[in-house]
Amino acid sequence: MNQVFSRPDSLLDLRMHYCPGCTHGIIHRLIAEVIDELHLRERVVGVCPVGCAVFAYDYFDCDMIEAAHGRAPAVATGVKRVLPESIVFTYQGDGDLASIGAGEIMHAAARGERITVFFINNAVYGMTGGQMAPTTLLGQKTSTTPGGRNPQAAGYPVPVCEMLSTLTGPAYIARVAVTSPNYVTQARRAIKRAFEVQVQGLGFSLVEIISTCPSQWGMSPLEACHWAEEHMLPQYPLREFVEPREVAK
Amino acid sequence: MSAVAGEVASGRVLMRGNEAVAQGALDAGCRCFFGYPITPQNQIPDYLARHLPEVGGIFLQAESEVSAINMVYGAAAAGRRVMTASSSPGISLKQEGISYLAGAELPCVIINVMRGGPGLGNIAPGQGDYFQAVKGGGHGDYHTLVLAPWSVQELYNLTRDAFDLADRYRTPTLVLADAVLGQMMEPMEFSRPPVDPASLPVPSWATTGARGRAKNIINSLYIVPEEQEQVCLRIQARYQEAAQRDTRWEGQYLEDAELVLVAYGTSARVCLTAMETLRAGGRRVGLFRPITLFPYPEQALAELSGRASLILVVEMNLGQMVQDVRRIVFGRCPVHFYGRTGGVVPTPAELVRAVEALERAR
Closest approach of A147 to chain B, Cα-based (Å):
34
With CA atoms as reference, report the closest residue to B44 among B18, B69, B83, B14.
B18
- ipTM > 0.90, yes or no: yes
Q: How many CB atoms lie within 10 A of CB B169?
A: 21
For residue A7, is it within any domain? no
Structural domain includes residue B110: yes
Same domain, B302 and B200: no
Separation in Å, CA of A138 to nearest CA in chain B: 31
> Residue B34's closest chain A neighbor by CA?
A78
- Which among A83, A86, A91 is the top mutation candidate for probing chain B, defined by the most B β-carbons within 10 Å of its own β-carbon? A83
Stated as kind and residue range, the H or E segment containing B339 is: strand B335-339
Q: Is residue B68 part of a domain?
A: yes
> Minimal Cα–Cα distance from B15 to chain A, Å?
29
Secondary structure letter of residue B115 according to DSSP: B
Q: How many CB atoms lie within 10 A of CB B69?
A: 35
Residues B260 and B220 in one domain: no
Query: Exposed e or buried b for every residue in B276-288, given b needs 16+ CB within 10 A?
Result: bebbeeebebbbb
Q: How far is CA B262 from the centre of its chain?
A: 17
Do residue A75 and residue B32 have CB atoms under 8 angstroms apart?
A: no
Residues of B in contact with A80 (CB under 8 A): 74
Tell me: do B153 and B263 sit in the same domain: no
Question: pLDDT per residue over B234-274, tens digit each?
Answer: 999 999 999 999 999 999 999 999 999 999 999 999 999 99
Radius of gyration of chain A (CA): 17
- Identify which of A45, A68, A81 has the shortest CB distance to residue B96: A68
Counting the structural domains of chain B, the total is 2
Q: Give the pLDDT confidence score for residue B322 in this predicted structure.
A: 98
- A14 part of a folded domain: no
Strands of the sheet with B285-290, listed across from one edge: B249-252, B285-290, B259-262, B310-315, B335-339
Report pTM.
0.97
A12, part of any domain: no
Position B1 in a domain: no
Q: Are residues B290 and B352 in the same domain?
A: yes
Q: Examine the domain organization and report whether B169 and B36 are in the same domain.
A: yes
Q: Within this chain, do residues B44 and B156 fall inside the same structural domain, yes or no?
A: yes
Query: Does the pLDDT value for residue B8 go beyond 60?
Result: no
Domain extent for A144: 24-247
Claim to verify: residue B200 and residue B277 sit in the same structural domain? no
Cis check: omega of the bond before A244, within 30 degrees of 0: no
Asked if residues B83 and B51 have their Cβ atoms less than 8 Å apart, the reply is no
Asked if residue B16 belongs to a domain, the reply is yes
* Structural domain containing residue B121: 7-206+216-245
Same domain? For B68 and B115 the reply is yes
Decide: A97 and B248 in contact? Cβ < 8 Å.
no
In a domain, residue A2? The reply is no
Give chain A positions within 8 Å (CB) of B77: 45, 65, 75, 78-79
CB contact under 8 A, A67 and B97: no
pLDDT tens profile B150-159: 999 999 999 9
Contact criterion met (CB < 8 Å) for B219 and A57? yes
Same structural domain for residues B161 and B225?
A: yes
Tell whether the model's pLDDT for residue B10 goes beyond 80: no
Pairing of strands B172-178, B108-114: parallel
* Residue A80 contacts residue A113 (beta carbons within 8 Å): yes
Asked whether residue B79 is domain-assigned, the answer is yes
- State pLDDT tens for residues A98-149: 999 999 999 999 999 999 999 999 999 999 999 999 999 999 999 999 999 9
Looking at residue A96, the DSSP 8-state letter turns out to be I
**Residue B2: is its pLDDT beyond 60?**
no
Task: Indicate whether B179 belongs to any domain.
Answer: yes
Count CA atoms closer than 13 A to A70's CA, side-chain side. 15
Could you tell me which chain B residue has the CA closest to the CA of A76? Answer: B74
In a domain, residue A156? The reply is yes
In whole angstroms, what separates CA B215 from the centre of its chain? 34
Q: Is pLDDT above 80 for B9?
A: no
User: Looking at the domain assignment, is residue A206 inside a domain?
Assistant: yes
CATH code for position B180? 3.40.50.970
- The pLDDT value recorded for residue A246 is 60
Is residue B211 in some structural domain? no
CA distance B281 to A64: 64
Predicted confidence (pLDDT) at residue B216 exceeds the cutoff of 90:
yes
Q: Which residue of A has its CA nearest to B97?
A: A68
Q: What are B323-358's pLDDT values in tens digits?
A: 999 999 999 999 999 999 999 999 999 999 999 999
Does residue A244 surpass a pLDDT of 70?
yes
Contact B77, B105 (CB under 8 A): no
pLDDT at A249: 46
How many domains is chain A built from? 1
B200 and B335 together in one domain: no
Same domain, B174 and B225: yes
CATH of the domain at B318: 3.40.50.920
pLDDT for residue B1: 37
Do both B272 and B238 map to the same domain? no
> Across the interface, do A83 and B208 touch by the CB < 8 Å criterion?
yes
Q: Which of B76, B100, B215 sits opposite A68 (nearest CB)?
A: B100
Residue among B55, B72, B96, B218 with most chain A CBs within 10 A, to mutate: B218
CATH of the domain at A129: 3.40.50.970
Asked if A242 and A171 count as a contact pair (C-beta separation under 8 A), the reply is yes
**Distance (Å) from the C-alpha of residue B76 to the closest C-alpha of chain A?**
8
